[in-house]
Chain A
Amino acid sequence: QKEVEQDPGPLSVPEGAIVSLNCTYSNSAFQYFMWYRQYSRKGPELLMYTYSSGNKEDGRFTAQVDKSSKYISLFIRDSQPSDSATYLCAMKTGFQKLVFGTGTRLLVSP
Chain B
Amino acid sequence: NAGVTQTPKFRVLKTGQSMTLLCAQDMNHEYMYWYRQDPGMGLRLIHYSVGEGTTAKGEVPDGYNVSRLKKQNFLLGLESAAPSQTSVYFCASSPRAWGTIQETQYFGPGTRLLVL
- The reply to whether B40 and A102 form a contact with Cβ atoms under 8 Å apart is yes
Which of A32, A41, A49, A97 makes the CB contact (< 8 A) with B48? A97
- Residues of A in contact (CB 8 Å), total 24
Q: Report A25-65 residues with CB < 8 Å from chain B CB.
A: 31-32, 34, 36, 41-46, 49
- The reply to whether A43 and B90 form a contact with Cβ atoms under 8 Å apart is yes
Which of A43, A49, A97 makes the CB contact (< 8 A) with B104? A49
- The reply to whether A97 and B42 form a contact with Cβ atoms under 8 Å apart is no
- The reply to whether B110 and A41 form a contact with Cβ atoms under 8 Å apart is yes
Known contacts A46-B104, A100-B43: A32-B99 contact under CB 8 Å: yes
Known contacts A100-B42, A100-B43, A103-B42: A44-B101 contact under CB 8 Å: no
Residues of A within 8 A of B43 (CB): 44, 88, 90, 100
- Residues of B in contact (CB 8 Å), total 21
Known contacts A43-B107, A49-B104: A102-B41 contact under CB 8 Å: yes
Residues of A within 8 A of B51 (CB): none
Residues of B within 8 A of A16 (CB): none
Interface, chain A (partner B; CB < 8 A): 4, 6, 8, 31-32, 34, 36, 41-46, 49, 88, 90, 94-95, 97-98, 100-103
